[in-house]
Amino acid sequence: MAQDYACKSLGLFLFLSDNSSGYIRLYYSLVGPNYGQTVFDAPGKSIVYSVRLISDFSLALFVADQLRIPDSLKYLLRAMAWGASATAIAGIFYLVSKFDIYHFITGLGEQVLNNDRTRGLSIEPRAMGLGAYGVMVLLLGRRSISKYWILLLFINLFD
Amino acid sequence: MDDNLKQIAILFTAFAVPILLLLFKQQRILLAWVGVTLLVHIFDTSIYTNLAAGRLVGLAFFCQVRFSR
C-alpha cells in the first residue's frame, strides 16, 4: 500500500493498460526492500496486457490502412459473412448430429459439450451471438456480399 | 491426435498465415483472414500464448512495419 502510494506520488508511469495492476512503472521507492532505489517493474499481467494493447492497435492500423483501398470494405464484409455462416452451419450440424466440430479440431472446451447448447466454431456458446454481425452484414450488403445472401441470412438467423 | 499437438499445429498456423501473407504482400487475403477469424475462433491460440488470431495479425503487422524501415 505504502509502496503503491510512493509509486503514485513519485513515479513516472510509462504505460497504462486496461487493468488496475497491469501497468509497467518506473519509480523511486521510499519504502520496503527497494528503499532509495529507482525501480522498474511490471506487476500483475502488465506484459500480457501491453502485448494485447499493441497488437490490437496494430491490427486497427492494418485494417484502416487496407480500407483506404477501393472495394476492400466489401472484401472484408464478405469474409465476415462467410465466417459467420461457417460458424452457424457448424452450430446447426451440432444440433442435428451432436458432433462438436470445434472440439474435434482443437481439443478444447469439453466442459460445454454436455449442456446441449451449440457453439459452432467458437469456444463457448455465448460467442455464437457474433452471428448477429453476419446478419447485419448480409442485410446491409445483400447481393453485393453474395448471390446466395438469402440462404446465408436464413442460416445465420436460424442459428 | 493429442490435444497438445493440435494446439501446437493451430498456433503454428495462426502465426504462419499472417507472416507468409505479409511476406508475399497479399494484404487483401490477410484482410479476409482477419474477417473470417473474427467469427471463426478455431485459430485462437491457447497454448503458450492466449491471443486471438486477429491479434497475431496485429503483432505480425507491427513487426513488419518496425523492421522494414
Q: What is the ipTM of this complex?
A: 0.90
Q: Which of residues 13-32 of B touch A (CB under 8 A)?
A: 27-28, 30-32
CA distance B45 to B7: 7
H-helix or E-strand containing A61? Answer: helix A46-67
Whether residue A147 sits in one domain with residue A91: yes
Whether residue A83 sits in one domain with residue A10: no
Average pLDDT for B2-12: 86
- A56 within domain boundaries: no
**By residue range, what is the domain housing residue A24?**
2-51
Whether residue A116 sits in one domain with residue A44: no
Count of domains for chain B:
1
**By residue range, what is the domain housing residue B39?**
3-67
Count of domains for chain A:
2
pLDDT of amino acid A47: 76
pLDDT of amino acid A12: 46
End-to-end Cα, chain B, rounded Å: 42
Whether residue A22 sits in one domain with residue A85: no
Whether residue A146 sits in one domain with residue A110: yes
CB contacts < 8 A, A to B, total 113
Q: B8 at the A interface (CB within 8 A)?
A: no
The string over B22-56, giving b where at least 16 C-beta atoms fall within 10 Å of a residue's C-beta and e elsewhere, is beeeebeebbbbbbbbbbbbbbbbeeebebbbbbb
Whether residue A36 sits in one domain with residue A98: no
Q: B50 at the A interface (CB within 8 A)?
A: yes
Which residues make Cβ contacts (< 8 Å) with residue B5, sequence separation at least 6?
A: none
Whether residue A137 sits in one domain with residue A82: yes
Instruction: Find chain B residues with C-beta within 8 A of A58's C-beta.
Output: 58-59, 61-62, 65
Whether residue A96 sits in one domain with residue A39: no
Predicted confidence (pLDDT) per residue in A98-156, tens digit: 888 998 888 887 766 677 788 888 888 888 888 889 999 999 988 999 999 999 999 99
- A63 within domain boundaries: no
- A26 within domain boundaries: yes
- A64 within domain boundaries: no
pLDDT bucket at B46, cuts 50 / 70 / 90: confident
* Binding-site residues on chain A for chain B (CB distance < 8 A): 48, 51-52, 54-63, 66, 69, 72, 75-80, 82-84, 86-87, 102, 105-108, 121-123, 127, 130-131, 133-134
Instruction: Find chain A residues with C-beta within 8 A of B2's C-beta.
Output: 107
Tell which of B39, B47, B49, B55 to mutate to test the A interface (max A CBs under 10 Å). B39
Whether residue A101 sits in one domain with residue A40: no
User: Does A25 or B54 have the greater pLDDT score?
Assistant: B54
CA distance A87 to A118: 10
Nearest C-alpha neighbor of A85 from the set A77, A96, A75, A95: A77
Instruction: Find chain B residues with C-beta within 8 A of A107's C-beta.
Output: 1-3, 6-7
In this complex, the residue of A78, A123, A133 whose CB is nearest that of residue B44 is A123
